[in-house]
Amino acid sequence: MEQPWKNQKSNNNKEHQAFIETQNCCALCGNELKITVESYLCDYNLREEAFCERCEIKTRIKDHKLH
Ligand SMILES: [Zn+2]
């Protein structure tokens, strides 16, 4: 079954990733953060993780509801 929100959701993911790439520096050391965004297609959630490879910490993990 084709679901009309599927393409829109993909576009939103790209925009979201572009957005968080503009604020991707570690608050502790200023190093560039490694951003990962995982989407969970089954329950409409996005998980955003920002990881500093220098400090070896995850500086933030956010869950986004898409609906
Ligand atoms: Zn850092």
Question: pLDDT of 36-67, one tens digit each?
Answer: 888 877 777 888 888 999 999 888 788 878 76
Beta-bridged to residue 48, according to DSSP, are: 37, 62
Is 16 within 8 Å of 37 (Cβ atoms)?
Answer: yes
Q: How far is the CA of 13 from the centre of ligand 1 (A)?
A: 25
Q: Tell me, what's the pLDDT at 11?
A: 59
Helix (H, G, I), strand (E, B) or coil at 23: helix
CA dihedral sign of residues 14, 12, 37, 3: negative
Grade residue 5 by pLDDT with cuts at 50, 70 and 90.
Answer: low
* ∠ CA 8-13-16, rounded to 5°: 120
Strand partners, 40: 45
Around ion ligand 1, residues with a beta carbon closer than 5 Å are: 26, 28-29, 31, 52, 54-55
